[in-house]
């Protein structure tokens, strides 16, 4: 499913609870507001077996579980994790107009032999280094996780 243009999937190893301003802090060291939903790991909540074979969680155990570290909350049901550098490389679609001039000319030269490299103003290029950032979305009682990508260093972009 897509949320805010990001492909997200439900994760079973995370549940959520309300933020606790006394114990929970975000990546900047600020307390997390009690109106925010924060993701926590299931293994930190001590799941208990029920008589019918199901698993349940005690509310006190969920409240005592620590929230995921280094999250930046942008709204009450969405949080971003830290940027991570990936060096394994992958093929990506980039807007042709956003490429540097020399790279754009190279791609256009290759497209004469292989027209599938350009589609609707986008060009397929190989990115040897890129950065990923996890996104946590909480909706309908479930935690969903997605990933955002960037091909420019986020630290350089921020300055």
**pLDDT reported for residue 87:** 87
pLDDT higher than threshold 60 for residue 75: yes
- The pLDDT confidence band at residue 76, using thresholds 50, 70 and 90, is confident
pLDDT at residue 116 in the model: 62
Count of structural domains within the chain = 2
pTM: predicted TM-score of the whole model, two decimal places: 0.75
Averaged pLDDT, 77-97: 84
- Same-domain status, 47 and 8: yes
pLDDT in tens, 42-64: 889 888 888 888 888 888 888 99
* Residue 156 counted as domain residue: no
Q: Work out the pLDDT band at 90, boundaries 50, 70, 90.
A: confident
Would residue 154 count as lying in a domain? no
Which pLDDT value is given to residue 111? 65
Nearest residue to 70 via CA among 80, 61, 60? 80
6 domain-assigned: yes
**Whether the predicted pLDDT of 114 surpasses 70:** no
Same domain, 142 and 101: no
Distance CA 82, CA 150 (A): 13
pLDDT digits (tens, 9 = 90+) for 11-36: 999 999 999 999 999 998 999 988 89
Please tell me the distance from the alpha carbon of residue 87 to that of residue 27, in angstroms, as a whole number: 24
Domain, as residue range, for 120: 90-127
Which of 125, 131, 158, 145 has its CA nearest to residue 6?
145
């Amino acid at each position: 499913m897509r949320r805010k243009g990001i492909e997200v999937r439900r994760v079973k190893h995370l549940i959520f609870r309300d933020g606790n301003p006394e114990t929970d802090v975000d990546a900047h060291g600020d307390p997390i507001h009690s109106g925010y939903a924060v993701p926590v790991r299931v293994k930190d909540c001590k799941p208990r077996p029920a008589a019918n074979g199901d698993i349940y969680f005690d509310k006190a155990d969920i409240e005592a579980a620590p929230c995921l570290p280094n999250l930046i909350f942008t709204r009450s049901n969405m949080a971003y994790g830290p940027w991570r550098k990936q060096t394994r490389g992958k093929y990506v679609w980039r807007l042709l107009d956003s490429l540097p001039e020399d790279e754009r000319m190279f791609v256009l030269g290759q497209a004469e032999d292989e027209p599938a490299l350009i589609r609707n103003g986008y060009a397929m290029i190989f990115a040897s280094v890129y950065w990923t950032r996890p996104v946590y979305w909480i909706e309908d009682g479930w935690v969903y996780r997605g990933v955002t990508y960037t091909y420019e260093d986020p630290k350089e972009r921020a300055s």
